[in-house]
Structure 1
């Protein structure tokens, strides 16, 4: 089973929001490489929910993919901050997936903690300059992070 890491700003959408909702659409991804990762996801894949662009970034919990990639409706929504003026019904280059809450960690696994773990040194998240909002996680990295909880 492939594993993933997906980033969200907690003031916009947090692990607590997903926990309350149960299921939600993961949309607004506007980077082609991250979009391609969304398109590679399968139902049942697990992901780490990462809080980004906040005072203390880190992994806040786990979610699951419950619907594979489909056209992201926010690209066509004139009221959405993720609207893409070049997108149309016939040609929408952006994708969304539906996710489900699995677990919220008791304590956030902070970015400094992740960077200090030798088993994660090859993980794109901890490498300088990597800003992708969706990225794959190897099985070894997945297990190392679970062991840190």
Structure 2
């Protein structure tokens, strides 16, 4: 199993919306690095859901339910989507400020590649964030 973090502006698509619909297509990614990360996701992989711009915090966990396929929203180019399902909301959201202040997360992609909307996490990073969220 691999671990990931996906980012979305909550006023565009929030964890609440994913919980309400029960399944979501992660579409609209137009960065080659993020696209390649979508293509590396496997069914069952665990994914942190991060609210960007508003909140700037990890709020929940979702799981890859369907591996990559062509993005139906792409008018041109070779873009992909995955489908995710909600697993659970974190007991306590983890802010970007907390992440930056945690030495065990000093090399997390969220800090090093802050503009990337889909990024891998190490098992240790995933576990550390779970501990911080009191799960």
Say whether the fold is shared (TM-score over 0.5): yes
**Ranges of 4+ aligned residues in structure 1 off by more than 6 Å:** none
The Cα of 1:105 is off from its aligned counterpart by 1.7
The Cα of 1:53 is off from its aligned counterpart by 1.5
Whole-Å Cα distance in 2 between the matches of residues 100 and 107 of structure 1?
20
The CA RMSD over aligned residues, in Å, is 1.0
Whole-Å Cα distance in 2 between the matches of residues 140 and 15 of structure 1?
23
Whole-Å Cα distance in 2 between the matches of residues 10 and 107 of structure 1?
17
Whole-Å Cα distance in 2 between the matches of residues 117 and 57 of structure 1?
16
Q: Within the alignment, does 1:113 sit opposite 2:98 as a pair? A: yes
Give the match for residue 23 of structure 2: 23
Give the match for residue 140 of structure 1: 124
The count of corresponding residues between Structure 1 and Structure 2 is 133
- Larger-gyration structure (1/2): 1
The Cα of 1:130 is off from its aligned counterpart by 2.6
After TM superposition, the score normalised by the length of structure 2 is: 0.95
Whole-Å Cα distance in 2 between the matches of residues 37 and 94 of structure 1?
11
Whole-Å Cα distance in 1 between the matches of residues 72 and 40 of structure 2?
19
The Cα of 1:40 is off from its aligned counterpart by 0.4
